[in-house]
């Protein structure tokens, strides 16, 4: 009993004789096995919960971060590798999914052929760029390149009209940059300056030389590219400004769009982009397109040719020769993310295939790896969270009855997609062969592009999934008012779903995923959409003021956290995610309190059910990042770092203080007056 006693004292549980009789020893415990017993829960709960695992699992050289998502991905890759190897050996009939998977995998691994072909797969695109000598031909080249996945000055896609969610409409957003976002062009801290210097004096010239430019052309071209990008960046919005749905909604007729940018003939551009006739468009950031119009007149055709060559080679670098791929990784993988080496080639090929044909792989994946019992468990959990949310709304002391009623209508209308689609994507028109890896990628990108733009003017397909079943992630769609919960998101590495107790499952899934995504429908951005997914005011002014006051408290709380050097969390940019985290936790707690495990109160490995709930939640953010990746995340990501997604919201939750006996003077302690309660 000595070992058990030590475990129990560490967790703050005081055992009576009766409690000891209810103690359960659980082997292969996904939360107890991760503990760092040298850290107090009140000092740093993230390290207490995950520190043991982190000490045993340093970041591998090929990664910029390492955590539970990576371990799940490794398991998934092994399973997908078997699917691909079986397809490779199947000699399947042409046109079948198995043939397409096998041929794609074959070309990705065929490095001899890749080296032999050099940059020939881009020959037609490079010729198109070389022939562009004026504004119309530059725009034509940019438009054509965008149809096969080369991102450049046009941020175009077809999506739901935010104010009329039943309509699919063309949307234009800011684009055109080569560095991760606009702040990289202007920040003056040493870390960002070092990245910018490498980009302009090393990376850009090297990549241009790999397209065929000589030394002088490459140096001049790099200078031109940077001037164009910085000019566009100056009229690009900051991360937090992109989160206001009203401020990023500007619906225009085609005539109004042409008037906004008089040097861009959008009729011609849209035709080159293979679009059907366009009568109206939503422009997210008009100032960006005004700047683009000016840039087209300011910079010479030669400048734009260098820019488009750069965009093309950057877009296809992972699928070309080792020299191109290595330089792309040196800058993007090492300088930006801090990785030390590339992943093995087979893993990179699988990741690419997953991005292009993920649902084809997913169909084969779920048949073998996601049982019906798991789908049922998490479908039921969605409803448990929904019921907890209903009860929370009813008890809110800051929301008026009028808005409560509308909130309940929206909550009840949320549609959950759990595990995998009921209707799978049709890949029958996608052509794959064994000739060229870059060629296969190009065709797959064009196929996906056509799938997107052919939605223009058609009814919204609510059966379509935006994620594959084997994706370790989840999402909420404001326009569809739906949550998507892929099968892989429920995975705990090395543990069968049937072996995961409810306490851990409710923390790991119900709180950090299901409750989180449902709360996104009521965060600072999602709350502005109604039950049908339309951007529409449905709150009373009083309710909006009260909500905003509480939300601003949370933004201030997170902005106070210093992450690295002088870098703070951007509390405004990450506000939606932080609201969703906090909401998910409190909803998960109340849903869990209704379970048999919570009511019985039995200890497992010295941990109470509520302690295991919080540890289950922390398990969802198990991981660590290199400094380079952490700095990049602060500047470019609306999510706070994982350790703060645990420690931050836990400091606002009363049950956390009770479960781990957090007291004043502990680092995790937050004065009651400063604790945020929204939902």
Contacts (Cβ under 8 Å, ≥6 apart) of 300: none
Distance, in Å, from the CA atom of 392 to the CA atom of 591, rounded to the nearest integer, reads 11
**142 found inside a domain:** yes
**674 found inside a domain:** no
Distance, in Å, from the CA atom of 538 to the CA atom of 375, rounded to the nearest integer, reads 34
Report the DSSP pairing between strands 280-283 and 164-173.
Answer: parallel
Q: What is the pLDDT of residue 367?
A: 82
Radius of gyration, CA atoms only, the chain: 26
| Closest to 37 in 3D by CA, of 563, 589, 491, 605 | 605
Secondary structure (3-state) at 107: helix
**222 found inside a domain:** yes
Q: Are 396 and 503 in contact (CB under 8 A)?
A: no
Residues of the chain scoring pLDDT < 50: 1-21
| Closest to 525 in 3D by CA, of 414, 533, 236, 474 | 533
**Paired tokens of 416:** 């959950």
| CATH of residue 313 | 1.10.1380.10
Which strands form 155-161's sheet, in the order they lie side by side?
155-161, 164-173, 280-283, 251-253
**187 found inside a domain:** yes
Q: What is the pLDDT of residue 88?
A: 95
Domain assignment of residue 260, given as a range: 119-319
Q: What is the pLDDT of residue 9?
A: 32
**226 found inside a domain:** yes
pLDDT for 164-185, tens place per residue? 999 999 999 999 999 999 999 9
Q: What is the pLDDT of residue 27?
A: 80
Question: Residue length, the chain?
Answer: 679
| Closest to 84 in 3D by CA, of 69, 109, 59, 105 | 105
**344 found inside a domain:** no
Contacts (Cβ under 8 Å, ≥6 apart) of 475: 466, 467, 483, 484, 517
Distance, in Å, from the CA atom of 614 to the CA atom of 616, rounded to the nearest integer, reads 5
Backbone angles phi, psi at 476, to 5 degrees: -125, 135
Q: What is the pLDDT of residue 368?
A: 79
Residue where the block lists tokens 């041929």: 103
Q: What is the pLDDT of residue 3?
A: 33
Number of domains in the chain: 1
**624 found inside a domain:** no
């Amino acid at each position: 009993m000595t070992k058990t006693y030590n475990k129990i004292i560490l967790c703050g549980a005081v055992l009576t004789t009766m409690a000891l009789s209810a103690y359960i020893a659980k082997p292969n415990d996904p939360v107890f096995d991760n503990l760092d017993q040298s850290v107090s829960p009140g000092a740093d709960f993230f390290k207490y919960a995950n520190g043991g695992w982190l000490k045993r699992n340093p970041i591998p050289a090929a990664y910029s971060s390492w955590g539970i998502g990576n371990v799940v991905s490794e398991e998934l890759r092994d399973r997908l590798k078997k699917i691909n190897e079986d397809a490779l050996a199947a000699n399947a009939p042409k046109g079948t999914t198995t043939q397409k998977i096998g041929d794609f995998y074959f070309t990705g691994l065929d490095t001899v052929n890749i080296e032999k072909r050099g940059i020939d797969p881009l020959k037609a695109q490079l010729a198109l760029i070389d022939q562009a000598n004026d504004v119309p031909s530059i725009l034509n080249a940019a438009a054509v390149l965008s149809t096969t996945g080369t991102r450049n000055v046009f941020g175009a896609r077809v999506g739901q009209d935010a104010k009329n969610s039943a309509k699919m409409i063309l949307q234009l957003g800011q684009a055109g940059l080569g560095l991760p976002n606009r702040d990289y062009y202007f920040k003056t801290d040493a870390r960002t300056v070092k990245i910018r210097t490498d980009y302009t004096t090393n990376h850009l010239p090297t990549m241009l030389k790999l397209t065929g430019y000589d030394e002088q052309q490459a140096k001049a071209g790099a200078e031109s590219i940077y001037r164009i990008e910085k000019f566009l960046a100056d009229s690009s919005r900051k991360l937090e400004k992109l989160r206001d749905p009203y401020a990023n909604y500007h619906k225009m007729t085609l005539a109004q769009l042409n008037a906004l940018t008089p040097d861009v003939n959008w009729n011609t551009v849209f035709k080159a982009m293979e679009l059907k006739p366009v009568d109206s468009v939503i422009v997210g950031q008009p100032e960006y397109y005004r700047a683009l119009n000016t840039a087209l007149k300011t910079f010479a055709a030669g400048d734009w040719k260098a820019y488009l060559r750069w965009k093309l080679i950057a877009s296809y670098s992972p699928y070309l020769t080792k020299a191109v791929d290595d330089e792309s990784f040196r800058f993007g993988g090492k300088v930006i993310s801090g990785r030390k080496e590339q992943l093995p080639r087979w893993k990179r090929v699988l990741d690419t295939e997953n991005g292009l044909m993920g649902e084809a792989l997913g169909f084969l994946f779920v048949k073998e790896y996601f049982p019906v019992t798991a789908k049922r468990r998490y479908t039921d959990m969605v409803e448990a969270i929904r019921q907890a949310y209903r009860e929370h709304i009813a008890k809110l002391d800051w929301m008026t009855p009028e808005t409560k009623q509308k909130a309940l209508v929206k909550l009840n209308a949320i549609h959950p997609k759990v595990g995998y689609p009921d209707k799978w994507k049709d890949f029958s028109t996608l052509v794959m062969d064994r000739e060229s890896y870059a060629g296969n990628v190009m065709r797959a990108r064009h196929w996906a592009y056509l799938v997107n733009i052919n939605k223009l003017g058609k009814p919204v397909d609510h059966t379509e999934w935006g994620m594959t079943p084997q994706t370790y992630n989840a999402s909420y769609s404001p326009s569809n008012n739906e949550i998507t919960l892929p099968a892989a998101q429920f995975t705990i590495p090395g543990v069968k779903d049937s072996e995961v107790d409810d306490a851990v499952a409710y923390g790991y899934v119900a709180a950090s995923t299901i409750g989180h995504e449902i709360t996104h429908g009521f965060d600072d951005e999602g709350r502005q959409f109604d039950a049908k997914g339309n951007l529409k005011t449905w709150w009373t002014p009083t309710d909006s003021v009260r909500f905003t006051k509480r939300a601003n408290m949370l933004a201030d709380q997170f902005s106070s956290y210093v992450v690295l050097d002088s870098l703070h969390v951007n509390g405004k940019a990450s506000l939606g995610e932080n609201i969703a985290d906090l909401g998910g936790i409190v909803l998960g707690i109340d849903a869990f309190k209704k379970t048999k495990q919570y009511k019985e109160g039995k200890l497992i490995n010295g941990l109470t059910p509520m302690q295991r709930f919080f540890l289950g939640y922390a398990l969802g953010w198990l991981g660590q990042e290199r400094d380079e990746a952490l700095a990049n995340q602060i500047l470019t990501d609306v999510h706070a770092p994982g350790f703060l997604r645990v420690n931050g919201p836990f400091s606002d939750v009363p049950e956390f203080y009770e479960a781990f006996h957090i007291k004043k003077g502990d680092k995790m302690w937050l004065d009651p007056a400063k604790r945020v309660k929204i939902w």
